[in-house]
Amino acid sequence: MTGSGDSHHWAPGDHILWRYRDNDSGDVHICRPVTVVRDTPELLAVWMAPGTECVKPVLTDGRPVHQEPLATRYTVPRTTVRAHWAGEGVLKLARPGEPWSVWLFWERGWQFRSWYVNLEEPRTRWSGGVDSEDHFLDISVNPDRSWLWRDEDEFAQAQRDGLMDAAQAARVLAAGEAAVETLRAWGAPFRDGWEDWRPDPGWTVPELPADWDRTPAHTAP
């Protein structure tokens, strides 16, 4: 992947990896090649183009994870597969140290659909991208600013299965409440007009490298 590395900021148009590690094993199980839109001390913004080849977890029999009953969803064996992102592209916005990222979704013809607040571990930067860990609980935000919690059942099941202890669950809930307060105040990045942003037509779709799951030699926050 292109990019300037840990201690520097990436330039617009650089290709990096946005990855998530499994909550149990710590191995990378989600990997999405993205294009840097903006990278400053205040914000990392990246674009995942339609049709991007990604890595995602599936059950060992090939079924999508969401097809497994909730009671066993996090305990049955899994593997990873390479697959192309279906649907329109996604713009991801993340502020350093913040335990969530905000994703923007559009329908065909750039009709803005929604924001999505993904509660997650603050991202760790490395030379080829950023790593995080998903925290199960999320928030959907509609264009009219109404919002709702998402995946509360999965958040509860993850605790029952020992994927997070009570202390971590409390931190995730606190992060969610902080995100809600940002919503109610209509703070950044919701107020910043990102729904009107469009990708550079000259950008190419990043390729998924063969060593997408390599462990960085060193990391930086």
Dump pLDDT digits (tens) for 45-64. Answer: 999 999 999 999 999 999 99
What are the structure tokens assigned to 215, written together?
């462990």
pLDDT confidence band for 217 (50 / 70 / 90): low
Dihedral sign from CA coordinates of 184, 185, 190, 191? positive
pLDDT digits (tens, 9 = 90+) for 89-147: 999 999 999 999 999 999 999 999 999 999 999 999 999 999 999 999 999 999 999 99
pLDDT confidence band for 5 (50 / 70 / 90): very low
Q: How far is CA 203 from CA 1, 36, 37, 200, in A?
A: 14, 10, 10, 6
Give the pLDDT confidence score for residue 194 in this predicted structure: 98
pLDDT confidence band for 8 (50 / 70 / 90): confident
End-to-end CA distance of the chain: 19
Q: How far is CA 36 from CA 6, 49, 133, 202, 211, in A?
A: 14, 11, 20, 13, 20
Give the pLDDT confidence score for residue 206 in this predicted structure: 97
pLDDT confidence band for 216 (50 / 70 / 90): confident
- Of 155, 117, 129, which Cα lies nearest the Cα of 35? 129
Give the pLDDT confidence score for residue 213 in this predicted structure: 93
Average pLDDT of the chain, as a whole number: 94
User: Residue 121: CB partners within 8 Å, gap ≥ 6?
Assistant: 99, 132, 133, 135
Q: Among the residues of the chain, which ranges form H helices?
A: 152-160, 166-185
- On the question of pLDDT at 219 being above 90, the answer is no
pLDDT confidence band for 68 (50 / 70 / 90): very high
Residues in the chain: 221
Q: How far is CA 157 from CA 75, 138, 181, 198, in A?
A: 10, 14, 26, 38
- On the question of pLDDT at 220 being above 70, the answer is no
- Of 83, 85, 87, 118, which Cα lies nearest the Cα of 100? 118
Domains and CATH numbers, the chain: 15-194 (2.40.380.10)
User: Residue 25: CB partners within 8 Å, gap ≥ 6?
Assistant: none
What are the structure tokens assigned to 92, written together?
């991801």
**Mean pLDDT across the stretch 146-159?**
98
- On the question of pLDDT at 4 being above 50, the answer is no
Query: In a 10 Å sphere around its CB, with 0-12 CB exposed, 13-18 middle and 19+ buried, how is residue 6 labelled?
Result: middle
What's the chain's Rg over C-alpha atoms? 17
Give the pLDDT confidence score for residue 87 in this predicted structure: 87
DSSP letters of 123-151?
Answer: PEEETTEEEE-EEEEEEEE-TTS-EEEE-
